[in-house]
């Protein structure tokens, strides 16, 4: 059984560094927005799915994002376009694992009508709790679209073969999760927003925003322990790391 990972480039968000790293100055930093195409034999899985198509071009949705970020997203950056480039029909995507419910991770769900969504139960509940949704800037119109949703609590082995395993890494949001993928000869964890950057994994500052900093710090300790045991950690929004990745990890 071959399992491979292909990073999909789904746009860029830019803001002053202080938005992403507590105590930093306001020089701009650009964050790539990736989605991750994972092929498990003939099964097509995504981890996260980029931004909503309404953010392409002018309009009220884009204006809200641009209150906080410089936004680069073209029609080519939408998940359906990137899947097409990879030879995958969006209708073929059977599973979308959501790391969490922020707009740059879930907006593409609107283009994936047949996907079953796998998300931590705490995250999904927060998405529909008025106070937690507001505090975490969740927008139910991004994800409350009638998909078949599987909510999980804790580790979840997606195919019961140890190859693709959701691992809870709460803190950035209430039910944030990362994804452990066993390739042919090594293990990779796609950290998502538990660690924006390589520096975060090396003990750098957390963002000033976030649901629970202590929980996020504890999640990072667990990820670092995995790295010490040989696992490759891929941070969620690091331009240099993204540029260094091959088109396909196998």
Residues found near Zn ion in the complex (CB under 5 A): 102, 193
Minimum separation from the CB atom of position 102 to Zn ion (A):
4
Output DSSP code: residue 10.
E
Nearer to Zn ion among residue 53 and residue 172 (C-beta)? 172
Nearer to Zn ion among residue 53 and residue 102 (C-beta)? 102
CB burial of 179-202 (b: ≥16 within 10 Å; e: otherwise) equals: bbbeeeeebbbbbbbbbbbeebbe
Minimum separation from the CB atom of position 15 to Zn ion (A):
13
Nearer to Zn ion among residue 81 and residue 177 (C-beta)? 177
DSSP three-state, residue 86: coil
Consecutive H or E run containing 97: strand 95-97
Minimum separation from the CB atom of position 68 to Zn ion (A):
12
Minimum separation from the CB atom of position 151 to Zn ion (A):
19
Q: What is the DSSP string of 159-226?
A: TSSSSEEEEE--SSSTT-EEEEEE-SS-EEEEEETT-SSHHHHTTPPPPS--S-HHHHHHHHHHHHHH
Nearer to Zn ion among residue 108 and residue 163 (C-beta)? 108
Minimum separation from the CB atom of position 229 to Zn ion (A):
26
Nearer to Zn ion among residue 98 and residue 165 (C-beta)? 98
């Amino acid at each position: 059984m071959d399992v491979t990972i292909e990073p999909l480039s789904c746009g860029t968000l830019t803001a002053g560094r202080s938005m992403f790293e507590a105590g930093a100055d306001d020089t701009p930093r650009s964050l790539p927005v990736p989605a991750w195409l994972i092929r498990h034999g003939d099964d097509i899985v995504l981890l996260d799915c980029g931004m909503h198509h309404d953010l392409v071009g002018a309009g009220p949705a884009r204006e809200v994002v641009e209150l906080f970020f410089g936004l680069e997203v073209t029609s080519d950056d939408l998940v359906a376009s990137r899947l097409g480039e990879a030879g995958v029909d969006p209708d073929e995507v059977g599973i979308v694992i959501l790391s969490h419910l922020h707009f740059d991770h879930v907006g593409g769900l609107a283009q994936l009508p047949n996907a079953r969504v796998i998300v931590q139960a705490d995250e999904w509940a927060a998405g529909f709790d008025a106070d937690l949704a507001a505090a975490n800037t969740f927008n139910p119109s991004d994800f409350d679209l009638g998909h078949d949703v599987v909510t999980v609590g804790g580790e979840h082995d997606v195919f019961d073969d140890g190859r693709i395993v959701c691992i809870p890494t709460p803190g950035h949001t209430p039910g944030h999760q990362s994804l452990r993928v066993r390739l042919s000869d090594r293990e990779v964890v796609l950290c998502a927003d538990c660690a924006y950057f390589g520096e975060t994994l090396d003990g750098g500052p957390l963002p000033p925003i976030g649901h629970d900093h202590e929980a996020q710090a504890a999640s990072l300790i667990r990820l670092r322990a995995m790295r010490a045991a040989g696992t490759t950690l891929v941070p969620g929004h690091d331009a240099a790391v993204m540029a260094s990745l091959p088109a396909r990890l196998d």
